[in-house]
Amino acid sequence: MDIHIRNVEENCILDIVGEIDLYNSYRLKDTVSAVIEKKVSLFIFNLKKVSYVDSSGIGAFLWINATLAKKEIPFRIINVPPFVLKVMELTRLVGFLPVELPGKGPTIVPVGDGKAVGKRAQASRQTKGQQMQVS
């Protein structure tokens, strides 16, 4: 697994390439732990080039969810490949994790003190009223 980090203003985009599995899911958690210390308003996990995810990968996203909720930092999971989305649906994590569904936008998930992440909070989270496009 490779993780490419891009920063757009105060937003951190992590482009993940390859497999998120037992052998490397710790790298995703380590990366988030290192980046969280910087001033980040929003994490975006781009899964466009993920080729495989197992239960350890799902566990890493649950850890990320809990860790970022404690810090009240919202995040999104975008460009989810169909097979990864299927795993998330089977484990009933769509709706629990902020997964952006194709053509539907992000799901709405409470973060920290109950603030919403998703369409309701999108306007307040956008920097200077501009939407961020990620490919």
Cβ atoms of residues 134 and 106 within 8 Å: no
Domains of the chain in start order, with CATH, are 2-129 (3.30.750.24)
How far is residue 117's CA from residue 120's CA, in Å, rounded to a whole number? 7
Helix ranges (H only) for the chain are: 25-35, 55-70, 82-90, 119-125
Could you report the per-residue pLDDT of 10-33, keeping only the tens digit for each? 999 999 999 999 999 999 999 999
pLDDT, tens digit, for every residue of 33-47?
999 988 899 999 999
CA distances, 24 to each of 4, 18, 69 (Å): 15, 10, 23
Q: In this predicted structure, which of 29-38, 47-56, 97-106 has the lowest mean pLDDT?
A: 97-106
pTM over 0.85: no
Nearest partner of 3 among 53, 37, 69, 50, judged by Cα: 50
Q: Is the pLDDT of residue 113 over 90?
A: no
